[in-house]
Amino acid sequence: MTDDLPRVRLMPKANARAIRHGFPWIYANELVTDRRTRALAPGSLAVLEDSGRVEMGLVAVNPASRIICRMLDRNPAAAVDQSWFAARISRALALRARLYDQPFYRLVHAEADGLPGVVIDRFGDAAVIQPNAAWAEALVEELAAALVEVTGVRTVLKNASGRTRALEGLDDASAVLVGTAPDGPVPVPMNGATYMADLTGGQKTGLFYDQRPNHAFAARLVTPGARVLDVFSHVGGFALAMLAAGAGRALSVDGSVPALALAEAGAAAAGTAERFQTRQGDAFEVMTALAAEGAEFDVVICDPPAFAPNKQALEAGLRAYERVARLAAALVAPGGYLGLCSCSHAADLSKFRGASARGIGKAGRQAQLLHSGFAGPDHPQLPQLAETAYLKALFFRL
């Protein structure tokens, strides 16, 4: 019953229409934050009212966060329990089962799948949850139980490394929620390659599924014997897909020794180890050194971390993307291909494209833009929330 829950109210200046039309967040400056509201424990559930006290839905409240409320259900009387989670996960699973013939994908993509702040990646019989909002942390046991009920996975891990957890006042203690952690990396088949995902010690959940369609497009650019360079490669994302497509040799560059070791294990698992090399170091320094060595590649891909994670970092981030493009373009053989990626939601497609074009121009190269790629359909976008359209990939012929 809604009478059993606390109530929070929008200020008159808040954009109630946007919330009614699907925007899932209420910012702290849009909510009446009286003493009673400020006293709510992070993750508390409450009924949201507009400034006229008309009920709008059920929200999760975190007085310590800039996003003070997240819309959970348009029904203010909804009961957020295992059955509620199971219904959301079932809907998410139905989409992935239609899209993929093997159970390796992002199963839940936060707000776009109706679970604000929750990411779940599936790796066959194992799944990794990132509860990046206080309400999900408080209900993570019910969430894990629903996940097992719906999918039948035998292992559920909690990864607490998400940057946004700190903004929610949450700790960074990961845990095994169901079953036992895998003894070693989990092999993941994608685009004809094999990737090794470290579910307990790797970045985020262990693997980035979002680039899957962009890996596939890069593989289409490869001719037999092609020389390819994958910079900021993590566990070999683009390089392994291009090797599977027939590249003659591939070089992966990353700052992480463990990530490169996983990339080498993936190449070995796919039978392409003899054509695969790695180079550990700062990506900018390595690209500069490769140019000095006169190295040249038929396909060069750069997939850096988020240089512009927020608006404050935008200008510096765009300069960094421009520098990546300039250094990478110098390594592309005439008639070769350059792929540039950004996972910064603050740098929209137009700004990222502009920075990339400036960098290519400063390298003295001319380019054709062939393709603009985005995250795969297991990372659906919520149209009302620009942050869900974070990944961009641009492919050029130089």
Buried b (16+ CB within 10 A) or exposed e, 362-383: ebebebeeebebbbbbbbbbbe
Phi–psi pair at 125, nearest 5 degrees: -85, 5
Kindly calculate the radius of gyration of the chain based on its CA atoms and give it in whole angstroms: 22
CA–chain centroid gap for 339, Å, is 18
262 half-sphere exposure, CB direction, 13 A CA radius: 27
Is 343 among the catalytic positions?
Answer: yes
Number of CB atoms found within 10 A of residue 243's CB: 29
Phi–psi pair at 72, nearest 5 degrees: -100, -40
Residue 59 Rama label (left phi>0; alpha psi -120 to 50; beta): beta
Distance CA 325, CA 127 (A): 35
> How far, CA to CA in Å, does 254 sit from each of 140, 206, 231, 319, 325?
33, 16, 6, 20, 17
Catalytic pick from 69, 302, 341, 343? 343
* Pairing of the two strands 297-302 and 332-342: parallel
Coil, strand or helix at 242: helix
Inter-residue long-range contacts of 147-151, CB under 8 Å, 24+ positions, other chains counted: 147/85, 147/89, 147/120, 148/178, 149/82, 149/86, 150/86, 150/89, 150/90, 150/93, 151/89, 151/93, 151/103, 151/107, 151/122, 151/127
**Helices 140-151, 82-99: crossing angle, 10 deg rounding:** 40
Cα torsion 244, 249, 252, 257 to 10°: value is: 100
The DSSP code for 148 is H
156, 127 contact by CB (below 8 A): yes
For the record, the structure tokens of 132 come out as 């990046």
Residues catalogued as catalytic: 343
